Amino acid sequence: MFEQYKLAVEMADRVSARRATANTFFLSIQTGLAIALGAFAVNDGVQDNANPDSFVLTLAAVAGVLIASSWWMLLRSYRDLNSAKFAVINNLEEKYLRVHLFKDEWEHLKQDRAKAWQRRYAELGQIERLVPSLFALLYLVLAIHVNWRFQ
């Protein structure tokens, strides 16, 4: 039983590591796309006093929204997977161990109000899903702006 517990903890840790790798991958893709869009808009607008190609900018913005949406859904999936893993870990701790490390840690995090500005523990999953949402919003604003300004 204890070997199964150790395996469950290790697998939960691996899911967290995969999530961090996915965040790095998607952040790199989004940053690269944003830089490319900025360079394209500036360079295309400078040459011969032409406006940037609104179709290309809109298409890139749509691609950015799709990438951000995929990133957000993947993060939600990782969160659901880890929630299930920790439910199993907590169940094993409750039934077979005297010490409930993960359950106690979680309880302490939820009750920590050391800082006046902090209402409650902000889960990493909630914070990290904000980043793809902001990228999607950025691309939506860009698409609306491009289509409003250059048409």
Confidence class of residue 68 from pLDDT cuts 50, 70 and 90? Answer: very high
Q: What is the 3-state secondary structure (H, E, C) of the chain?
A: CHHHHHHHHHHHHHHHHHHHHHHHHHHHHHHHHHHHHHHHHHHHHHHHHCCCCHHHHHHHHHHHHHHHHHHHHHHHHHHHHHHHHHHHHHHHHHHHCCCCHHHHHHHHHHHCCCCCCCCCCCCHHHHHHHHHHHHHHHHHHHHHHHHHHCC
In the chain, the number of structural domains is 1
pTM over 0.75: yes
73-103 pLDDT, tens per residue? 999 999 999 999 999 999 999 999 888 888 8
Residue 129's domain spans which residues?
2-149
Query: Which has the minimum average pLDDT: 23-27, 90-94, 102-106?
Result: 102-106
- The whole-number average pLDDT for the span 45-67 is 77
